[in-house]
Amino acid sequence: MKRPILLHPDPRLKKAAAPVADLSDELRVLGDDMLTTMYDAPGIGLAAPQIGVLSRVIVLDCVKEEGEAPRPLLMFNPEIVASSDDLSTYEEGCLSIPEQYADVTRPAEIEVRWLDRDGKEQQEAFDGLWATCVQHEIDHLDGKLFIDYLKPLKRQMITRKMVKLKRELARG
């Protein structure tokens, strides 16, 4: 089921999400709903706080090549266990901050540990767009947005645009 995505500024986007204690069918449904919502948006990543659920759950799929099989990942309690000293800069966007993009510099390679939908621990190294996306989504779980990496003036400008957009949407 597709769920509505919260738009910045929304206080729920700035709150830290709680760890998932036990994997339940309800959480698996949440993960499936998040994938549906992400693909429909369309996006390459989504964190549970973006749909108003303050749990440490993210989904991502950074496969963008035409004809390449999708690789949807559902991660419960993801954590970065290692990151490279090498940095990379990507132009990031966010489903909670539509039509706004900015360059963000992050570690180029990271190692992430998480629980999969069966409750099995997984660990994998990511680089390129995948590394950026995982870090962006884990930031959401900590109440951090990509605009928090920007200089205050640029961040305020984007926030003002979002307040205006939300007003327009509310008017219908």
Give the C-alpha separation, 119 to 67, whole Å: 30
pLDDT in tens, 13-65: 999 999 998 899 999 999 999 999 999 999 999 999 999 999 999 999 999 88
Helix%, strand%, coil% for the chain, nearest 5: 35, 30, 35
- Over residues 72-112, the pLDDT tens digits come to 999 999 999 999 999 999 999 999 999 999 999 999 999 99
pTM metric for this prediction: 0.95
Helix residue ranges, H only, 12-127:
25-40
Residues 164, 62: Cα–Cα separation, whole Å: 30
Q: What residues are labeled active site?
A: 137
Q: Which of 85, 84, 78, 100 is nearest to 145 (CA)?
A: 100
Beta-bridged to residue 112, according to DSSP, are 80, 124
